[in-house]
Amino acid sequence: MLKKNILNFTLAAWEKAVEEIKLPRFRATQVWDWIYNKRVFTFADMSNISLATKEELEKHFCIDLPLIDDKNVASSADGSQKFLLTTTDGAVIESMVMYANDRVTICLSSMVGCPLRCAFCATGTEIGFVRMLDACEIIGQLFAVEKYLKNKVTSIVFMGMGEPLLNLANTKIVLENLLSPNACAYSRNAITLSTAGIAPVIAPLINKYRIRLAVSLHFPTDAQRSQYMPVNCTHGLKELFTALKQVKLEGNDYITIEYIMLKDINDSLDHARALVKICSHIKVKFNLIPYNKIASFEGEPSSQKTIDAFTAFLLAKGFRVSMRHSRGTDISGGCGQFALKKDTHTIIDD
Ligand code: SAH
């Protein structure tokens, strides 16, 4: 019998699963406490549970995490670390950990590969779509990395491989468990989900969980966005911005608009003007992203001078603008560089 991974359950579903094997409900709470409060992932170490119960649990359930091998942890000169993790079926996924002040941020993958095929992103163009990650493999990246680092992760971004909003059911389970006071108890502000723009599901999801939203916009016109981001052919800018208007923002919340700066492609002041126009009715802040070069795309990063002029334009219009400090580029851990070379995918040279 295939064992069910407990990390695929919300607490309510877990309680039901425990009742189904005729164990009392308090056992569910005990196991949950071991996992989420004590970060214990083996039944054998759950000292307040009898041997017979442990054996019964073991028959039906597991708490497997993706595996980290020392050889597959690469450290960047900027301090960030890239982890290659292996799932129980041998798929390889990537997570990045970044450090800033007191913050430890993990960048989680939601899929093996990605179906979206944005022209400038190595995940979609060089790997393509392999499969969805289960909830246990998404939250498992966090637990495996925390265990390895012996350190708590303080914030989480869904910005690794894959499109979280196309793996919606599993993303919801993970969010539920990250946010629930009975589980990881992260504050809603500690979690950011980035999407390429799966318009119909954005507002329902963000309004339910009230986490931070980032949108990979990158191009301010349909013609150009469709050329580089095929998702725009399905969900164009009008649909996307109608969806963004439906996102309920509280107090100091903004929607982050991510914008890769590509030399002579999307970095002119005309582009900045078009960007301001489409964003003017929404509370947004801009995050300009230096383009990390990938082999399969011919584009070049914009010059600092161009980026400065673009930034100055947006600031003058009253917007908040930040420049992403791209991390881990020397270990191919920068945005869009999450591609595993198929022939060498288990080893990173560091
Ligand atoms: N599919 C989601 C989650 C991935 S997040 C999304 O698109 O938002 C990864 C971020 O890195 C996205 O903003 C993506 O557009 C950006 N990115 C992709 N390729 C890049 C590259 N070569 N250089 C810089 N950023 C890149």
Percentage with pLDDT > 70 across the chain: 93
- Which atom of ligand 1 has the smallest separation from the CA of 195? 8
Q: Which residue type is seen at 338?
A: F
Look at residue 343 in the predicted model and tell me its pLDDT.
32
Q: Say if residue 337's pLDDT is above 90.
A: no
Residue ID of nearest Cα to ligand 1 atom 18: 336
**What pLDDT does residue 348 have?**
28
**C-alpha 217, offset from chain centre:** 16
Q: Give distance in angstroms: CA of 226 to centre of ligand 1.
A: 15
pLDDT number for residue 324 = 74
Residues above pLDDT 90, as percent of the chain: 87
**Protein residue whose Cα sits closest to atom 1 of ligand 1:** 163
Query: pLDDT digit string (tens) for 246-275?
Result: 999 999 999 999 999 999 999 999 999 999
pTM for this prediction:
0.94
Ligand 1, pocket-test mutation among 120, 171, 201, 213, most atoms within 8 A of CB: 120
Pairing of the two strands 255-261 and 212-216? parallel
Q: How confident is the model at residue 349 (pLDDT cuts 50, 70, 90)?
A: very low
Whole-number Å distance, alpha carbon 123 to ligand 1 midpoint, is 9
Q: What is residue 271's three-state secondary structure?
A: helix
Confidence of residue 330 (pLDDT cuts 50, 70, 90): confident
153 close to 103: Cβ distance less than 8 angstroms: no
Q: What's the rounded mean pLDDT across residues 297-309?
A: 97
- Ligand 1 pocket, residue 109 CB under 6 Å: no
Query: In this structure, which residue's CA is closest to atom 15 in ligand 1?
Result: 216
Q: Using CB atoms within 10 A of its CB, is residue 298 exposed (0-12), middle (13-18) or buried (19+)?
A: exposed
Decide if pLDDT at 333 tops 80: no
Tell which residue, 295, 277, 342, has the closest CA to residue 92: 342
In this predicted model, what pLDDT tens digit does every residue of 108-135 receive, in sequence order?
999 999 999 999 999 999 999 999 999 9
pLDDT average, residue stretch 195-222: 98
Mean pLDDT in residue range 3-10 = 98
Ligand 1 site-directed mutation target among 126, 228, 260, most atoms within 8 Å of CB: 260
Domains and their CATH numbers in the chain = 4-62 (1.10.150.530), 67-346 (3.20.20.70)
Residue 327: per-residue pLDDT: 65
Give pLDDT tens digits for 170-190.
Answer: 999 999 999 999 999 999 999
Beta strands in the chain (DSSP E): 4-5, 61-62, 67-75, 81-86, 92-100, 103-107, 111-113, 129-132, 155-158, 191-195, 212-216, 255-261, 284-290, 320-323
Atom of ligand 1 nearest to the CA of 258: 13
